[in-house]
Amino acid sequence: MADRDKKDARDEKDELEVPENGLLTARRLWASARGLRWRVVVATIAAILYVTCDLITPLYSAHLIDLLWKNIQAAFAKGEPFVVTLDDGGRELLVYLGIWMLAWVFYSTQSLVMASFAERLNLRLRKDISAKVGRLPLRYFDAHKPGDTISRATNDLDKVSEVLQRGLLQIIISAVTLVGALIIMFRMDVLLASIFTVFIAASLLLTRVVAGRTLVVAGRRQEVLGRLTGRVEEAYSGRTVVKAFGRERASLEQIEADAQELALVSARADFLTNAISPAIRFLTRLSQVICGVLAGGMLVAGRLTIGTFQAFFQYVFKASEPVTQLSLTVNMLQGALAAAERVFRLLDEEEVVPDPEQPARLPEHVRGRVAFEHVRFGYSPDKPLMSDVSFVAEPGQKVAIVGQTGAGKTTLINLLMRFYEVDGGRITLDGIDTRRLARADLRRQFGMVLQDAWLFEGTIAQNIAYGKSDATREDVEAAARAAHVDYFVRTLPDGYDTVLSNDAENISQGQRQLLTIARAMLMDPAILILDEATSSVDTRTEQYITRAMEAIMEDRTSFVIAHRLSTIVDADLILVMDHGSIVEKGNHRELLAKGGMYAELYRSQFA
Amino acid sequence: MKKNKAGEKGVERDYSKSQSARLLLRLLSPYKGMCVVTLLMLLCDIVGTLYVPTELSALINAAISTKGSPEILSHGLRMLAASVIGSGGCIISFYLASRLAANIGRDMRVAVYRKSLELSGFDFGQFGTGSMITRTLSDANVVQQTFLMTFIMLAPVPIICVVSVVLAFGVDYQMGWLLLSISVVMSLIMVAAVRKSAPIFLIMQGFVDRMNTRLREHITGVRVIRAFGKEEDARRGLDQTFEDYARNAIRVNMVFATADCATFFLMNLVEVLVIWLGADRVGAHAMQIGSISALVEYAMIIMFFMMMGQFAILQLPRAMACLTRATEVLEAVPSVADPEEPKAIGTGAATRGDVVASFDHVGFRYADADEETLHDVDFRVRRGEVTAVIGNTGSGKSTIAKLLLRFHDVTSGSLSFMGADVRGVRRADLRARIGYVPQKAWLFSGTVASNLRDGDDSADEERLWHALDVAQGGFVRDLPEGLAAPVAQGGSNFSGGQRQRLAIARALVRKADLYVFDDSFSALDFKTDALLRHALKDELADAAVVIIAQRVSTIRDAAQIVVLDEGRVVGLGTHDELMRICPTYQAIARSQERGGVEDGR
């Protein structure tokens, strides 16, 4: 629940967020757009030219209509009907058409040039992120929830592209249109223009006020939605309990109440968001009415021509649209810059130390002697997670690591595989400091089965062959048989070609675990690591697997982390860990005889 | 083959379309009145919107015909009235539409959730928890937003077209034809753009999902990927997804940009055409010069709304997909249902040794499985006795508990509770007699007390404490808030062992005839396990108890032990008996004995 609250708080903040350093972020975005910048330049020039044409047209139409009206009146005075010919207004009409077509060309240019800009830039940043994810140290993933990193590449970049796609040029177009239209209107008639300006100012003010309110309500909506989401997730995950205890009614009532509150808040939020434009339109119409009546009087008095009259109202129309646009886009722009800032923050995260330029080479056949020599490790120096750990695993030995949760068992493995870098001391493989090796070379020597059975979206065969892409179907099946999962796979309709999806519940945790064991078996590594590998299977199946594992563990160094001590009593070396250091070391008999922590643990499990 | 597939797809879509249309009507039916009022208000808005330029042009005409100021003022007043009515109607219709959409969203959420409660565990599993959450929340949200957009942006389009064409015909028939043809051409452009981009939009949704899945996979599997040295592969896979997405996004954008340009071209042409044709018509005394500006404005308004409508239409396919997904849930037939004429469960079997539950040659097969999960299972559960069920993963032992609670129905044989076939009684009545501790101890956000009272609403604090003591939940006494201590979603602020003990206490709060412990002791250490079993012996002396377990030590003292292997009962008896005669049981026991592996060699 605490997590959820935090998440909601963040979502809400997202809405209201302003970038810490908008200018810097904008500059970085600009730098990232290398090779695409010409699009922005061309589009901006085209947009400005378009607005210019667009602003000229009403002015020219005033001239045109006045001319036509003069000619019509002249014709009427002669008692003849009037028809447009090339000499009788036709030429001016063609010029008018020309201006419009010019506007169209510029408009199309900016529109088409920008159509792919945002997504191209996004693709570039997304690729940066995927490369970055490969270089981030494991401690980053320990400290950040997957959802956060995912939303950098999806939601945040979507926000950026949305604004770049529409917003950026919209701001330019709106601003130039507004200013240009006002200038022209003032030149037409100061009184009318002043009245209109008052209404524009009122509209701007109204938009700001409503936009502020909207953000508050949107935040509230996010909060209620978060609560409902939590409620539903909880109810679905615990639905067996809900049903077993006959709590259906109570649960439904609770969801109904939350859904009702969400309905109220979201109706308000949606209304506020959408009501801005009709409200602004109302103000514009009011100004139209007042200006219309005044201008009508001027028309009667001959102080205004009919062409100017209608042109003025075209400007009213042109200038009032950007008002709403402007203030909404400014909010969006800020949100997008804040989102881009988060993306850059991810891209700036500290990376793993690069591999040495001339890495040491491991022999063709690795024997698998692993030595920890006074290894120290900690995220921060004042809170060491591991202090002075030393031991030697001889080739072919089975090393068991036991201890409470948080004792440092997994940390030990992470250091061994260089997911973490040691802060002091060193770890050697066959006598070579692992830091002198290329990570890929080092890790190739390990086969790993972890507590959370990670499988990717793909077929079962692909998952088993993950570590060895050239494996034949026979190899895959042999590995599956060895891991006691062949029978199960065969009962599935598509057998080894069954596609595993993340949402699918057709395969149990225990079976997933067996598949990862088959995967490790197929890889045939020099060293095996089993981190609580059999925690999700029952004791008898565990024993089958253990025996199968033992077969391939022959002549291989192996590290086993296990809760159930029954699986590790035969280990050559048992390391008992507590608070980041090894408190006892020896084999089962020695440690039992010693009567220390191990003996205590063992007794508590088999009392 | 390919053609065949496409044909199938078409059929499927039609089917789902009619289904979701039905759901749509069902969702709308409580709000018919509100819909009508909203549409009426929308009409006010449109008439007002179009009446303002009409009056403005009338004002010009009045001004140039020098009829004088009173005329101008009256036109001004009419414009004012039109503005007030139009904007008022617009704002009211937006308000109503927001309410309407929010109510529909709410109804959909509640309906899906209500339905989820009727579905059996198997039915629910067919959808999957993740998908059900999406269907309940974000699908409803999409539908809600689409409704709103339909009202605000789509519904006005045909009305605007009709009203402005009528007004144009009122000015001059040639102008009417002009506006009519503009409307038609605009509609054609709009339809073309939507047709071209709608399928891409649906594909894009797929790519968005893929992006999320791939990224999540990459992040949660970072250890494995690196251990296998697959960083490059993983990155390439991700980049591929990103590229697919970008390519399609650009395609959609290009379609839009093109449609946008075409519309703009048309708009410009109309500006010139109206003046040209207008001048001719004024010259022919067919209309007045001021009307030209009104006509220009009508045309602009039509195009403005068409472009908005185009945007709204594009959301429709997605909303349809969401509706279909909701319909799938709402129309699913629960595989387990209450009987039409439920019998009452007797109060008999009150003395020790009486049969509480009886499995009579029970067979069970999942609807989508070829083989039976349970086959000819036959045993009785008696009051005052502990019946234990043991077996390997996949042996079907957890299914025993699910059948007892009637989460599933037996497919052959019968299961009776207190003498009544469980299919003949209401599930609520049956479950009220059972105290159940699930395999995965799940708690709900609230307090310790609120969770315990899920077992029995009326339990007083004394009973809660008693249940906690029996369940070895003494740690609650050490919490500063005691029973009022907060519980986070799922109980995540407690350790696995603590959660399990709270779940046990929750079941004990209920005074039941049968207690079912579904593998509930595995999360406990051996010492707590032993203490708990000892306390339970006294507490549940008058009830029947079923313990489903992995550890032999947990069930050593049970009155009878049912040994399951691949869905069949391969042993039934006490620990000592089974140690003598049941090889499966012996194997399980041996594997768990002290130093078992060593001895086994």
Structure confidence at residue B205 (pLDDT): 74
**Per the CB < 8 Å rule, is B527 touching A607?**
yes
Q: What b/e string do you get for A343-356 counting C-beta neighbours within 10 Å, with b at 16 or more? A: bbebeeeeebeebe
Distance, in angstroms, between B560 CA and closest chain A CA?
21
Q: Which of A337, A539, A429 is nearest to B593 (CA)?
A: A539
Strand boundaries in A527-590, DSSP class E: 527-531, 557-561, 573-578, 581-586
* CATH superfamily entry for domain B435-511: P-loop containing nucleotide triphosphate hydrolases (3.40.50.300)
- What is the CATH number assigned to the segment(s) B20-330? 1.20.1560.10
- Least confident range from A320-334, A337-351, B248-262: namely A320-334
Measured between its terminal Cα atoms, the distance across chain A in Å is 37
Structure confidence at residue A234 (pLDDT): 86
- Identify the closest residue of chain A to B209 by CA–CA distance: A154
Query: Is residue B356 helix, strand or coil?
Result: strand
| Residues of B (49-88) whose Cβ lies below 8 Å from A | 52, 56, 59-60, 62-64, 66, 68-69, 72-73, 75-76, 79-80, 82-84, 86-87
Strand partners, B63: none
> From the list B144, B226, B510, which residue is nearest A419 (CB)?
B226
Q: Where are the domains of chain A?
A: 2-32+189-347, 370-606
DSSP labels for B513-563? SEEEEESTTTTS-HHHHHHHHHHHHHHTTTSEEEEEES-HHHHTT-SEEEE
Contacting residues of B for A230, CB less than 8 Å apart:
445, 489
**Per the CB < 8 Å rule, is B52 touching A288?**
yes
Give the strand order in the sheet containing A557-561. Answer: A446-449, A527-531, A557-561, A398-402, A573-578, A581-586
Q: Which of A127, A128, A25, A457 is nearest to B246 (CA)?
A: A127
The answer to whether the beta carbons of residues A21 and B507 sit under 8 Å apart is no
- Percent of residues, chain A, with pLDDT higher than 70: 90
Query: Is residue B420 helix, strand or coil?
Result: strand
> From the list B106, B283, B445, which residue is nearest A82 (CB)?
B283
Strand partners, A573: A399
**Per the CB < 8 Å rule, is A112 touching B530?**
no
Element (H, E) at B199: helix B173-220
Q: How far is CA A182 from its chain centroid?
A: 42
The answer to whether the beta carbons of residues B415 and B359 sit under 8 Å apart is yes
Q: Is A41 on the interface with B (CB under 8 A)?
A: no
Q: Do domains A2-32+189-347 and A370-606 have the same CATH topology?
A: no
Distance, in angstroms, between B154 CA and closest chain A CA?
14
Structure confidence at residue B57 (pLDDT): 87
> From the list B116, B279, B592, which residue is nearest A566 (CB)?
B592
Contacting residues of B for A83, CB less than 8 Å apart:
280, 283-284
Distances (CA, A) of B495 to A3, A192, A565, B500: 16, 74, 21, 9
Q: Which of B319, B407, B394, B385 is nearest to B125 (CA)?
A: B407
Structure confidence at residue B13 (pLDDT): 41
C-alpha to C-alpha distance for A320 and B18, rounded to whole angstroms: 43
- Describe the crossing of helices B231-283 and B291-330 by its angle, rounded to 10 degrees: 140
| Residues of B (534-563) whose Cβ lies below 8 Å from A | 550-551
Strand partners, B573: B561
When the candidates are 3.30.1370.60, 3.40.47.40, 1.20.1560.10, 1.25.40.10, the CATH number that belongs to A2-32+189-347 is 1.20.1560.10
**Phi, psi for A19 (deg, rounded to 5):** -65, 150
The dihedral region occupied by A579, where left means phi > 0, alpha psi between -120 and 50, and beta the remainder, is left
**Per the CB < 8 Å rule, is A508 touching B226?**
no
| Residues of A (352-411) whose Cβ lies below 8 Å from B | none
- Where would I find the H helices in A417-508? 439-443, 460-464, 473-482, 486-491
ipTM: 0.83
Query: Is residue A398 helix, strand or coil?
Result: strand
State the SS3 of A313-380.
HHHHHHHHHHHHHHHHHHHHHHHHHHHHHHHHHHHCCCCCCCCCCCCECCCCCCCCCEEEEEEEECCE
| Residues of B (310-369) whose Cβ lies below 8 Å from A | none
State the SS3 of B79-148.
HHHHHHHHHHHHHHHHHHHHHHHHHHHHHHHHHHHHHHHHCCHHHHHHHCHHHHHHHHCHHHHHHHHHHH
> From the list A64, A259, A466, which residue is nearest B228 (CB)?
A466
- What is the CATH number assigned to the segment(s) B354-433+514-525+545-601? 3.40.50.300
Q: What is the pTM of this model?
A: 0.77
pLDDT, tens digit (0-9, with 9 covering 90-100), for A296-313: 888 888 888 888 888 888
DSSP labels for A196-253? HHHHHHHHHHHHHHHHHHHHHHHHHHHHHHHHHHHHHHHHHHTHHHHHHTT-HHHHHH
- Identify the closest residue of chain B to A161 by CA–CA distance: B249
User: Which residues does B536 contact at the CB level (< 8 Å), separation at least 6?
Assistant: B470, B545
Q: Is A6 on the interface with B (CB under 8 A)?
A: no
Neighbours of B333 (CB within 10 A): 8
Structure tokens at B85: 């009515």
- DSSP annotation of A393: E
The answer to whether the beta carbons of residues B553 and B588 sit under 8 Å apart is no
| Residues of B (92-111) whose Cβ lies below 8 Å from A | 94-95, 98-99, 101-103, 105-106, 109-110
> From the list B60, B219, B289, which residue is nearest A146 (CB)?
B219
How big is chain B, counted in residues? 601
| Residues of A (440-499) whose Cβ lies below 8 Å from B | 440, 443-444, 446, 448, 450, 452, 454, 456-457, 466-467, 488, 491
- Describe the crossing of helices B69-118 and B138-149 by its angle, rounded to 10 degrees: 160
DSSP labels for B571-597? EEE-HHHHHHH-HHHHHHHHHHSTTHH
Q: How far is CA B314 from its chain centroid?
A: 23
**Per the CB < 8 Å rule, is A252 touching B110?**
yes
**Per the CB < 8 Å rule, is A244 touching B80?**
no
Confidence band, pLDDT 50/70/90 cuts, at residue A15: very low
> From the list B103, B137, B290, which residue is nearest A263 (CB)?
B103
Q: Which of A167, A152, A161 is nearest to A332 (CA)?
A: A167
The answer to whether the beta carbons of residues B431 and B470 sit under 8 Å apart is no
In terms of Cβ atoms closer than 10 Å to its own Cβ (0-12, 13-18, 19+), residue B228 is: buried
**Per the CB < 8 Å rule, is A285 touching B52?**
yes
When the candidates are 3.40.50.10790, 3.90.730.10, 3.50.50.60, 3.40.50.300, the CATH number that belongs to A370-606 is 3.40.50.300
The residue ranges of chain B whose pLDDT is under 70 are 1-17, 66-69, 347-349, 369, 394, 523, 526, 593-601
More confident residue, A523 or A476: A476
Sign of CA dihedral A159, A164, A165, A170: positive
pLDDT, tens digit (0-9, with 9 covering 90-100), for A417-451: 898 888 889 999 999 999 999 988 888 888 888 76
Pairing, β A581-586 against β B560-565? unpaired
Distances (CA, A) of B58 to B67, B165, B517: 12, 17, 84
Structure tokens at B16: 């789902």
Q: Which of A505, A509, A470, A511 is nearest to A490 (CA)?
A: A511
Q: Do domains B20-330 and B435-511 have the same CATH topology?
A: no
Structure confidence at residue B570 (pLDDT): 92
Distance, in angstroms, between B496 CA and closest chain A CA?
12
The answer to whether the beta carbons of residues B216 and B208 sit under 8 Å apart is no
Q: Where are the domains of chain B?
A: 20-330, 354-433+514-525+545-601, 435-511
In terms of Cβ atoms closer than 10 Å to its own Cβ (0-12, 13-18, 19+), residue B538 is: exposed
Interface with chain B: mutation pick from A92, A105, A272, A293, highest number of B CBs within 10 Å: A293
Q: How many contacts does A have with B, using Cβ atoms within 8 A? A: 426
Structure confidence at residue B594 (pLDDT): 52
C-alpha to C-alpha distance for A310 and B55, rounded to whole angstroms: 13
Contacting residues of B for A97, CB less than 8 Å apart:
268-269, 272
More confident residue, A20 or B136: B136
Sign of CA dihedral B27, B28, B34, B40: positive
